[in-house]
Amino acid sequence: MDPDISLLFQCPSPKGITEAQVRAELSPLYDRRPLPGDRARIETAWVARRQQSPWLFDGTKFRLHSIQLEGDILTFCLGLTCYKDFVGTNLADAAGQLQERGRKDLGNSQAYLAEPLGVGAMLHTADDKFVFLRRSQCVGEAPGKIDIPGGHPEPQVVMEDAALEGPVRHQDLPGESVVKELFCSVLREIQDEVNLPLPTLSSPMLLGIARNETSAGRCSAEFYIRCSLNSEQVSHHYAIGGPEAQESTSIIFVDREDVLTMEQSGDFWKELCPSAKGAIELYRGVMGTCQ
132 or 289: which carries more pLDDT confidence?
132
> Can you give the pLDDT at residue 291?
61
pLDDT at residue 208, rounded to an integer: 98
Residue 161 has pLDDT above 80, yes or no: no
Average pLDDT over residues 28-55: 95
Whether residue 148 is predicted with pLDDT greater than 80 in this model: the reply is yes
Mean pLDDT of 54-76: 95
Phi, psi of 192 (to 5 degrees): -75, -40
Q: How confident is the model at residue 142 (pLDDT cuts 50, 70, 90)?
A: confident
Round to the nearest angstrom and report the end-to-end CA distance of the chain: 23
Residue 275 corresponds to which amino acid?
A: S
pLDDT at site 173: 95
CB contact set of 91 (below 8 Å; sequence gap of 6+): 45, 49, 141, 215, 216
pLDDT score, position 289: 72
Cα–Cα distance between 290 and 146 in angstroms, integer? 26
With cut-offs at 50, 70 and 90, classify the pLDDT of residue 140.
Answer: confident
Amino acid type, 37: G
pLDDT band at 257 (very low <50, low <70, confident <90, very high): very high
Angle of helix 231-240 versus helix 175-194 axis, rounded to 10? 90
Mean pLDDT, rounded, for 80-90: 97
Q: Where are the beta strands (DSSP E) in 142-247?
A: 146-147, 150-151, 205-212, 218-226
**What integer is the mean pLDDT of 32-59?**
94
| β-bridge pairing 60-70 and 248-255 | unpaired
pLDDT at 86 over 70: yes
Percent of all residues in the chain with a pLDDT value above 70, rounded to a whole number: 99
Whether residue 75 has pLDDT greater than 90? yes
The answer, yes or no, to whether residue 280 has pLDDT greater than 70, is yes
Q: Tens digit of pLDDT for each residue in 102-133?
A: 999 999 999 999 999 999 999 999 999 999 99
By the 10 Å C-beta count (0-12 exposed, 13-18 middle, 19+ buried), 101 is classed as middle
Q: Are 80 and 60 in contact (CB under 8 A)?
A: yes
The residue-averaged pLDDT of 264-285 equals: 95
> Which domains can be identified in the chain, with CATH numbers?
5-287 (3.90.79.10)
Largest CA distance in the chain: 55
Distance between CA 77 and CA 79 in Å, rounded? 7
Is residue 179 within 8 A of residue 73, CB to CB? The reply is no
Residue 35 banded pLDDT, cuts 50, 70, 90: very high
The percentage of the chain sitting over the pLDDT mark of 90, rounded to a whole number, equals 87
